[in-house]
């Protein structure tokens, strides 16, 4: 599935990348179909909830064009190999393969760290994100009705999951 486009570089995310990362994250808020988050966290807040070594930025022409990261779904040891996926692409760079290279890198790196299941909760109207996940072997495993409120309105999510074919067998 390597669709790595020329001049798209994926690197580990560093604290110095945070201004660009949070800008892209806020763009996701504005669509109202990317996240329940409605306010930008600080670097410290975000850093605590996302796994070190499993967070990346995509760079095209020296500009951070997207980011992806994994976060634990639980602190219980039995779920140590299960992570939640976040993938965000700058609005000016959508449709250019940025999400592909980021998700591919997340999958590859997660397996080197003994992660056996990746999951994602996606708003049903976010067809682009659903298609991206399906392209990389995620399958729809459920539908969470009224799982959370956004701006006072109950929202549903589609739960998608990818089970590694090489880790946790």
pLDDT tens for residues 23-78? Answer: 999 998 887 788 888 788 999 999 999 999 999 999 999 999 999 999 999 999 89
Task: Name the pTM for this structure.
Answer: 0.91
Neighbour-count burial for 7-46, b at 16+ CB within 10 Å, e otherwise: ebebeebeeebbebbbebbebbeeebbbbeeeeeeeeeeb
Q: Does pLDDT of 1 surpass 80?
A: no
Range with lowest mean pLDDT among 6-20, 25-39, 132-146:
25-39
Position 168 in a domain:
no
- Residue 100 domain boundaries: 8-163
Position 169 in a domain:
no
Q: What is the pLDDT of residue 9?
A: 95
Local confidence band at 3 (pLDDT 50, 70, 90 cut-offs): very low
Overall domain count for the chain: 1
Q: Does pLDDT of 138 surpass 80?
A: yes
Position 154 in a domain:
yes
Position 1 in a domain:
no
* CATH number of the domain where residue 60 is located: 3.40.630.30
152 Cβ contact partners less than 8 Å away, ≥ 6 residues apart = none
Q: What is the residue-averaged pLDDT of the chain?
A: 92
């Amino acid at each position: 599935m390597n669709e790595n486009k020329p001049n798209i570089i994926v690197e580990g995310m560093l604290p110095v990348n945070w201004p660009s990362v949070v800008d892209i994250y806020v763009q996701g808020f504005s669509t109202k179909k990317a996240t329940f988050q409605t306010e930008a966290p600080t670097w410290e807040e975000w850093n605590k909830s996302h796994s070190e070594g499993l967070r990346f930025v995509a760079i095209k022409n020296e500009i951070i064009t997207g980011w992806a990261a994994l976060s634990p779904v639980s602190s219980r040891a039995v779920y140590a190999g299960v992570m939640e996926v976040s993938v965000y692409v700058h609005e000016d760079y959508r449709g250019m393969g940025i999400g592909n290279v980021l998700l591919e890198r997340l999958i590859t790196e997660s397996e080197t760290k003994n992660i056996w299941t990746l999951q994602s909760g996606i708003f049903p109207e976010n067809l682009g994100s659903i298609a991206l996940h399906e392209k990389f072997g995620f399958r729809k495993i459920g539908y969470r009705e009224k799982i959370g409120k956004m701006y006072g309105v109950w929202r549903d999510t589609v739960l998608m999951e990818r089970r590694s074919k090489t880790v946790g067998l």
